[in-house]
């Protein structure tokens, strides 16, 4: 556990040091966020806020992993590849948004191709090295998915990654929720004796804690798709490598609610012409009914903390 805590401290300090360097550079190169015109009016003042801040915790994660756990092979290596790979997809998406000066980057199919590619790398590694069985929550049982493991896990990874991306809509929301989930996985990986993945979790948690100094309300920088997709990749990698995709549904309930709100909204509008929520994802709905950003973020973080406690109960092996 000492090594995990040390990795968190190192990552935290690196992000704190990168902030005064990266944020002014992003502002200087006019890497500012474009805001959806149909979004809450209160968000229009955020237009131009530096984005792509996710590069800070990606760099921190890489440096920390190399410094603390020099033998980067196996699960740690594939977890880093997945995280950085999804981060690169997000970086390309953010770059196109900046170039076009619109909240429109890569086309959906282009992002999907990249996401499926890195999901396959992670899934095939897991299939060949740790098996095709997954844990059933609240039991000590595992179920072997056989050949179905690969398409199932690819679906989980892509779905989870995009859910994290949808959650990144308020200052400190995605970073705060994911920080709590990473602490959960840090404890789990330590308990299972997986020191490399424990360092990975500690590094992400520490980096996000440092990032919150700049990303909490009012945000001085946004993580952008660079950061949200990278975080989605990291969380997905942990769920796959620990054989816990169903546990991710529990601890990541906020992610699930966010993506379901979009699905419900779109489906309802196409079938009936009516909207269920004032706006989706659901965090914007709460804004429209008068909740302040900080209240919404606090509520979602509390829900995540409670879900993580339930997650500990669900792991009984």
- Burial, 189: exposed, middle or buried (Cβ in 10 Å; 0-12, 13-18, 19+)? buried
Under the phi-then-psi rule, with left for phi > 0, alpha for psi from -120 to 50, and beta for the rest, what region is 274? beta
The CB-side HSE value for 227 (13 A sphere, CA atoms) comes to 30
* Both tokens assigned to 27: 């502002």
Q: Alpha carbon of 130 to those of 77, 123, 184, 242: distances in Å? A: 14, 10, 21, 9
CA 116 to chain centre: 16
Distance of CA 125 to the CA centre of its chain: 21
CA triplet 306, 90, 229: central angle to 5 degrees? 20
Q: What is the residue whose two structure tokens read 């990303």?
A: 215
Count of residues making up the chain: 317
The Cα angle at residue 188 between residues 186 and 189, in degrees rounded to 5: 65
Helices 74-100 and 224-241 pack at an angle, to 10 degrees, of 160
Spatial distance between the Cα atoms of 73 and 79, rounded to a whole number of angstroms: 10
CA angle 88, 115, 226 (to 5 degrees): 30
Prior bond to 73 cis, omega within 30? Answer: no
> Alpha carbon 118 to chain centroid distance?
15
Q: Is 165 annotated in some ligand binding site?
A: yes
Residue set of the binding site for Mg(2+): 165, 225
């Amino acid at each position: 556990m000492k090594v995990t805590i040390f990795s968190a401290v190192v990552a935290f300090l690196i992000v704190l040091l990168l902030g005064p360097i990266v944020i002014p550079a992003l502002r200087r190169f006019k890497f500012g966020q474009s805001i959806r015109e149909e979004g809450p009016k209160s968000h229009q003042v955020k237009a131009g806020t530096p984005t792509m801040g996710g590069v800070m915790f990606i760099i921190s994660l890489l440096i920390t992993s190399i410094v603390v756990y020099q033998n980067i092979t196996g699960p740690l290596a594939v977890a880093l590849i997945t995280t950085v790979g999804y981060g690169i997809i997000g970086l390309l998406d953010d770059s196109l948004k900046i170039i076009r000066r619109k909240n429109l980057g890569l086309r959906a199919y282009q992002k999907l191709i990249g996401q499926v590619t890195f999901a396959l790398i992670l899934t095939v590694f897991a299939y060949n090295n740790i098996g095709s069985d997954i844990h059933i929550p609240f039991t000590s049982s595992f179920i072997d998915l056989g050949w179905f493991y690969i398409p199932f896990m690819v679906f989980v990874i892509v779905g989870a990654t995009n859910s994290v991306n949808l959650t990144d809509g308020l200052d400190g929301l995605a970073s705060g929720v994911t920080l709590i989930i990473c602490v959960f996985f840090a404890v789990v990986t330590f308990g299972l004796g997986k020191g490399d993945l424990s360092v990975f979790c500690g590094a992400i948690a520490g980096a996000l804690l440092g990032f919150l100094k700049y990303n909490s309300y009012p945000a001085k920088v946004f993580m952008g798709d660079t950061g949200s997709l990278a975080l989605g990749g990291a969380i997905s990698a942990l769920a796959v490598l620990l054989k816990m995709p169903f546990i991710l549904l529990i601890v990541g309930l906020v992610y699930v609610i966010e993506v379901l709100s979009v699905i419900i909204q779109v489906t309802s509008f196409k079938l009936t012409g009516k909207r269920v929520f004032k706006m989706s994802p659901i965090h914007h709905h709460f804004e429209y009914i008068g909740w302040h950003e900080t209240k919404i973020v606090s509520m979602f973080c509390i829900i995540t903390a409670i879900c993580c406690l339930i997650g500990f109960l669900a792991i009984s092996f």
